[in-house]
Amino acid sequence: MANFMQQAVDEAVQGVQKGDGGPFGALVVKDGQIIASGHNMVLITKDPTAHAEVTAIRMACAKLGTFDLKGCVLYTSCHPCPMCMGASLWARLDAVYYAATPEQAANVGFDDKAFYDYINSPNKNEEMCRLEHVEIDQYLKPFELWSSLESKTPY
Ligand SMILES: [Zn+2]
């Protein structure tokens, strides 16, 4: 376990040295084998979703040819932000192991506590991002279509 975490931290260091993005690295591991490793690529890709965990999950899925990472675990150099935790849940990872704490990340300018607070009560934090329900005719049509499909791939 320590070995994999060391590699996630090394990946984070390499990302900073290359100038690719923030100081974060992650690995997806299955049956004791590294499937994919990635670091934060936000700066180089100009993609705010290119966090280390998302990058590693995308690479692991591409490599394994699946959207389902059940049986895999994620090692990340830092506690995941809400997006990365969501991605881990959607990927059905068995576990997420992290090294640096949210407080330690906040000390170097990466404070996602506000995002966790927002998710708990978005209506109290409208100045951060307005979230509003907009009902139009037929807005449930995609769900009805999905439900009526004879053969579909649930995930
Ligand atoms: Zn993240």
Q: So what's the pLDDT on residue 126?
A: 87
Whether the per-residue pLDDT at 139 is higher than 90: the answer is yes
Q: So what's the pLDDT on residue 125?
A: 85
Residues with Cβ within 8 Å of residue 128, at least 6 apart in sequence: 114, 118
Ligand 1 centroid – CA 9 distance (Å): 15
CB distance 10 to 25 below 8 Å: yes
**Residues 74-111: pLDDT tens digits?**
999 999 999 999 999 999 999 999 999 999 999 999 99
Q: In whole angstroms, what is the distance from residue 56 CA to residue 62 CA?
A: 10
E strands along 16-114, which residues? 25-30, 33-39, 72-78, 95-100
Q: So what's the pLDDT on residue 123?
A: 87
Q: So what's the pLDDT on residue 152?
A: 92
**Residues 55-81: pLDDT tens digits?**
999 999 999 999 999 999 999 999 999
Ligand 1 centroid – CA 76 distance (Å): 10
Ligand 1 centroid – CA 131 distance (Å): 20
Residues with Cβ within 8 Å of residue 64, at least 6 apart in sequence: 30, 35
**Residues 23-34: pLDDT tens digits?**
999 999 999 999
**Is 150 part of the annotated catalytic residue set?**
no
Ligand 1 centroid – CA 145 distance (Å): 32
Ligand 1 centroid – CA 55 distance (Å): 10
Which of 76, 79, 85 minimizes the C-alpha distance to 101? 79
- Indicate which residue of 53, 126, 135, 150 is catalytic: 53
Average pLDDT, the chain: 96
Burial class, 43, CB count within 10 angstroms (exposed 0-12 / middle 13-18 / buried 19+): middle
